[in-house]
Amino acid sequence: MDLRQLRYFVALADERHFGRAAERLHMAQPPLTRAIRGLEDDIGAALFLRTPRGVELTEAGRALLDEAPQILAMVRRAEDKAQRAGAGMLGTIDIGIYSAALLNTIPRVLSAFRRERPQVRIRLHNLTKAQQIQALHERRIAMAFNRLVPEEPGIAVEVILREPVRVALHESHPLATRRAIPITALADQPMVLYPNVPMPGLAQQVMQAFQAEGVKLRVEQEVEDVYTAIALVAGGFGCCITTASAASLQPPGVVYRPLRSTHLRDIDLACLYRQGDDSPVLKALLKVVRAQRR
């Protein structure tokens, strides 16, 4: 028994007439007759009684009709599901993020993707930059978002945003009265740096900028994430150079000002994915990411 025969059987069972069933199936009657006979031979039982007015179901035919429509419906659902998965409309995508990733751009990207593909399940994994790269190689995630990503064999990196740099400081700080803060004004000021990780990141960019512009950097605290850094600024521990999206963090007493620096003006936000990955869901997400690029 094959699905073609099963569809022919259901049509004939509904119409109870070879001519009408053939017309419904958009085919000639002789091939339909042969297909039904072949089905009866495969099953080993007559499915229809031929009558002068058409056909009637036998007991075997009625038993088959009890199951056949559900089988065909299940096949149609499976075909539809496979087609939607092939078009990137269905499935799961695992995405690596970092601690501050959900402050601005990435939520907007994921929200746009979810609106387009509501049946795709998004699973987020909070990973360091090194962990993201490893997870991509091991196929545990399909995409990641991060900043200042080094070159890595087999990993594609696309910049999606160049984000301006800001100085976070307590409202009582003398520099808080300025519209913008030159990096020279931060000489010997207590600074909170993040992230405190081995792989190059914003903290290293800040240190390099201070060194390049001949400004003395006084590191008061080194922490792992922006949330802790801004909390320390709110507590009066010092100033922090961060990104514009961090300004959405508004603990009492913290203000943000643009940084004036020759060497540190903005920070790239990039997406990472495996080169040659032909996942339809990944391709669909990349299309959304590129449409949101600024």
Mean pLDDT (the chain) is: 93
Q: Considering only the top CATH level, what class is 161-267?
A: alpha beta
- Positions of CATH 1.10.10.10 in the chain: 3-86
Is pTM, for the whole model, over 0.85?
A: no
Q: Compute the average pLDDT of residues 90-106.
A: 86
Q: Tell which residue, 152, 266, 249, has the closest CA to residue 144.
A: 152
- On the CB side of 204, how many CA atoms lie within 13 Å of its CA? 8
CA 234/CA 277 separation, integer angstroms: 44
For residue 294, name the pLDDT band (cuts at 50, 70, 90): low
Other C-beta atoms closer than 10 Å to the C-beta of 171 total 11
Query: Mapped to the 3 state alphabet, what secondary structure does the chain carry?
Result: CCHHHHHHHHHHHHHCCHHHHHHHCCCCHHHHHHHHHHHHHHHCCCCEEEECCEEEECHHHHHHHHHHHHHHHHHHHHHHHHHHHHCCCCEEEEEEECCCHHHCHHHHHHHHHHHHCCCEEEEEEECCHHHHHHHHHCCCCCEEEEECCCCCCCEEEEEEEEEEEEEEEECCCHHHHCCCEEHHHHCCCEEEECCCCCCCCHHHHHHHHHHHCCCCCEEEEECCCHHHHHHHHHCCCCEEEEEHHHHHCCCCCEEEEEEECCCCCEEEEEEEEECCCCCHHHHHHHHHHHHCCC
Average of per-residue pLDDT across 280-286: 94
184 within 8 A of 213, measured Cβ to Cβ: yes
Q: Note whether 242 and 169 are within 8 A (CB).
A: no
Instruction: Give 1-4 contacts, CB < 8 A, sequence gap 24+.
Output: 1/39, 1/42, 1/43, 3/72, 3/75, 4/35
Q: Is the pLDDT assigned to residue 204 strictly greater than 80?
A: yes
CATH class of the region 96-160+269-291: alpha beta
* CATH class as words, domain 3-86: mainly alpha
Question: Once rounded to an integer, what is the mean pLDDT over residues 28-55?
Answer: 94
Residues of the chain with CATH 3.40.190.10: 96-160+269-291, 161-267
The residue-averaged pLDDT of 123-132 equals: 94
174-189 tens-digit pLDDT? 999 999 999 999 999 9
Query: Rounded distance, CA 29 to CA 34, Å?
Result: 9
Kindly state the average pLDDT of the residues 232-241.
Answer: 97
